[in-house]
């Protein structure tokens, strides 16, 4: 989705993570994946433990907010 609008992980400023029946093993998987994507510069995050998600068997859901840098004239880029 980021690539589709000309952005990358470096533009992500916030993550919302939802984990079904979270435990340390799932948090370890999530943490490893986030560090692989973002390196040591993780965006602000909120983690919510939930009973279920939209589809059966779905264990994680992540939403992200990205910010497009301003052009030199101060307007948002396209």
The DSSP 8-state label assigned to residue 75 in this structure reads S
In the prediction, which pLDDT does 70 show? 82
DSSP string, 31-71: HHHHHHHHTT-PPEEEEEEES--SSTT--EEEEEEE-PPBP
Res. 64: pLDDT tops 80: yes
pLDDT digits (tens, 9 = 90+) for 20-43: 998 999 889 999 999 999 999 999
Residue indicated by tokens 């279920």: 52
Domains annotated for the chain, with CATH where assigned, are: 3-66 (3.30.1330.40)
Is 15 within 8 Å of 68 (Cβ atoms)? no
What is the average pLDDT score of the chain? Answer: 91
């Amino acid at each position: 989705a980021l690539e589709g609008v000309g952005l990358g992980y470096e533009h992500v400023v916030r993550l919302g993570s939802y984990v079904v029946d979270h435990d340390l093993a799932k948090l370890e998987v999530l943490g490893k994946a986030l560090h692989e994507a973002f390196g040591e510069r993780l965006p602000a995050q909120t983690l919510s433990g939930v009973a279920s998600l939209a589809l059966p068997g779905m264990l994680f859901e992540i939403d992200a907010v990205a910010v497009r840098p301003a052009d030199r004239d101060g307007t948002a880029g396209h």
